[in-house]
């Protein structure tokens, strides 16, 4: 039987997943994964619910017009259900939560996760808010209700920054994780080295869809700090709060700082780090001038990278996309595939 999905939010990421489900329908069926998108609910474009599934091509076409009102009427189609009604009352097995990220309160996404779990539905999300601010509570609730909490897309989009350490590196004690966790700032630093101004580089990052709706979260390091908290809680199994991450972004770096580093054979990177020192956990996000011999110094543009310091396998570094429609859509898909396979 098809795995029924309800999507809360239908921006770049949600549309990315819908496009993949449309394009890869046959390939996914061969993997034993058959999905049916039964509901889409947005604040700005309206909402649709059909218990027997929406037409993905029509849905994507309607979204491009800016309003789901352009989706054709079919018998059984319901319009105007709000997010919570869809979560509670639709026949979906899984809620794909891709509404906007709030790293201060985590809301309303935390409430959507709670409501889904209480209704016996899985959550698959790329939203950092609930995972950075309420991971332990939500994971425990999901477990108590016998449903799944898929969060791969919250760090480094479809680059498996969470599943790699949890599944493939299991058995190692990971004492430290560090990396480049924000594509917007790495893109800005790369462009400034090429001679662009900070403002022009930020504008390009926004045009390319890397930046958050409010790019302050990117440039002041809060987005990276959210990912540091997720990595600490999920990968290193410690309880870390966002307020415990010492956080400084790149907005104070000048063209002169970048050139000075270049002259010294170095390169500025916004580095997130979490480290266990005895019983203590130390976490930070800050710009660091790395020598060019450091592998992280050579990660350019919007690309992200992460190094896990493992006691058995030694350091392992993963480099890949940290944002993007298809890349984050894939992160949601891989959670759906692993739910279907009953894997972690
Ligand atoms: N704004 C984020 C970034 C998107 O630039 O990395 C992915 O979290």
Residues 122 and 177 in one domain: no
Residues 304 and 336 in one domain: no
For residue 184, the ligand 1 atom closest to its alpha carbon is: 5
Name the pLDDT band for 35 (thresholds 50, 70, 90). Answer: very high
222-230 vs 128-145: helix crossing angle, rounded to 10: 20
Range(s) of the domain holding residue 299: 163-321
Measured by CA distance, the residue closest to atom 8 of ligand 1 is: 323
* pLDDT tens per residue across span 304-330: 999 999 999 999 999 999 988 999 999
Residues 57 and 72 in one domain: yes
Q: What is the CATH number of the domain that holds 204?
A: 3.30.360.10
What the block records as the tokens of 312 is: 């058995």
Residues 18 and 99 in one domain: yes
Asked whether 101 lines ligand 1 (CB < 6 A), one says no
What the block records as the tokens of 204 is: 């390009």
Cis peptide before 219 (omega within 30 of 0): no
Asked whether 182 lines ligand 1 (CB < 6 A), one says yes
pLDDT at 249: 98
* pLDDT tens per residue across span 200-209: 999 999 999 8
Distance CA 284, CA 333 (A): 31
Instruction: Spot the catalytic one: 128, 227, 266, 276.
Output: 227
Residues 144 and 177 in one domain: no
pLDDT at 230: 98
Residues 308 and 333 in one domain: no
What percent of the chain is predicted at pLDDT more than 90? 94
pLDDT at 51: 98
Cα 221 to middle of ligand 1, angstroms = 11
* pLDDT tens per residue across span 117-167: 999 999 999 999 999 999 999 999 999 999 999 999 999 999 999 999 999
Asked whether 322 lines ligand 1 (CB < 6 A), one says yes
Residues 180 and 193 in one domain: yes
Does residue 46 have a pLDDT over 90?
yes
Asked whether 323 lines ligand 1 (CB < 6 A), one says yes
Cα 140 to Cα 105, 118, 125, 205, 280, distances in angstroms: 19, 12, 16, 37, 24
**Residue 227 falls in the annotated catalytic set:** yes
CB contact at 8 A, 301 and 321: no
Residues 66 and 136 in one domain: yes
Residues 80 and 207 in one domain: no
pLDDT at 49: 98
Name the pLDDT band for 212 (thresholds 50, 70, 90). Answer: confident
Q: Phi, psi (5° rounding) for residue 223?
A: -65, -45
For residue 187, the ligand 1 atom closest to its alpha carbon is: 5
Residues 188 and 226 in one domain: yes
Cα 13 to Cα 196, 328, 329, distances in angstroms: 28, 6, 6
Cross-strand pairs, 290: 267
DSSP string covering 96-149, please? EE-----TTT-TTHHHHHHHHHHTT-EEEE--HHHHHHHHHHHHHHHHHHT--E
* pLDDT tens per residue across span 174-200: 999 999 999 999 999 999 999 999 999
Residues 76 and 121 in one domain: yes
* pLDDT tens per residue across span 266-313: 999 999 999 999 889 999 999 999 999 999 999 999 999 999 999 999
pLDDT at 213: 80
Q: What is the CATH number of the domain that holds 66?
A: 3.40.50.720
pTM of the model: 0.95
Asked whether 218 lines ligand 1 (CB < 6 A), one says yes
Number of domains in the chain: 2
Nearest to 236 by CA among 176, 181, 280, 282: 176
The three-class DSSP label of residue 39 is strand
Query: Judging by DSSP bridges, how do beta strands 303-310 and 314-321 pair with one another?
Result: antiparallel
Q: Phi, psi (5° rounding) for residue 314?
A: 80, -170
Residues 170 and 189 in one domain: yes
CB contact at 8 A, 2 and 36: yes
What the block records as the tokens of 332 is: 């949601």
């Amino acid at each position: 039987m098809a795995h029924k999905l309800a999507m809360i939010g239908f921006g770049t990421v949600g549309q990315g997943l819908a496009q993949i489900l449309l394009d890869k329908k046959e390939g996914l069926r061969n993997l034993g994964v058959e999905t049916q998108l039964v509901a889409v609910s947005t604040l700005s474009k309206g909402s649709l619910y059909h218990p027997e599934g929406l037409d993905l091509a029509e849905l994507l076409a309607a979204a491009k017009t800016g309003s789901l009102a352009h989706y054709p009427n079919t018998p059984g189609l319901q319009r105007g259900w709000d997010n919570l009604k869809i979560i509670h009352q639709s026949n979906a097995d899984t809620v794909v939560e891709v509404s906007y990220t709030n790293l201060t309160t985590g809301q309303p996404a935390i409430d959507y996760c709670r409501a889904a779990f209480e209704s016996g539905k899985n959550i698959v999300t790329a939203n950092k808010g609930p995972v950075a601010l309420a991971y332990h509570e939500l994971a425990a609730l999901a477990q108590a209700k016998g449903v799944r909490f898929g969060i791969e897309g919250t760090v480094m989009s479809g680059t498996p920054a969470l599943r790699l350490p949890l599944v493939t590196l299991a058995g190692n004690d990971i004492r430290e994780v560090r990396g480049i966790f924000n594509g917007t700032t790495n893109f800005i630093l790369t462009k400034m080295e090429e001679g662009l101004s900070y403002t022009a580089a930020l504008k390009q990052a926004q045009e390319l869809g890397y930046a958050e709706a409010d790019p302050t979260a990117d440039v002041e390091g809060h987005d990276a700090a959210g990912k540091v908290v997720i990595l600490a809680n999920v990968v290193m199994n410690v309880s870390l709060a966002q307020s415990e991450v010492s956080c400084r972004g790149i907005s104070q770096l000048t063209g002169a700082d970048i050139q000075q580093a270049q002259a010294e054979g170095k390169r500025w990177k916004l580095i997130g780090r979490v480290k266990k020192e005895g019983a203590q956990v130390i976490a930070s996000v800050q710009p660091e001038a790395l020598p060019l011999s450091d592998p992280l110094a050579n990660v350019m543009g919007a690309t992200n990278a992460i190094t896990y310091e493992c006691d058995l396998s030694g350091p392992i570094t993963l480099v890949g996309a940290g944002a993007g429609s298809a890349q984050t859509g894939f992160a949601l898909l891989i959670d759906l595939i692993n739910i279907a396979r009953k894997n972690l």
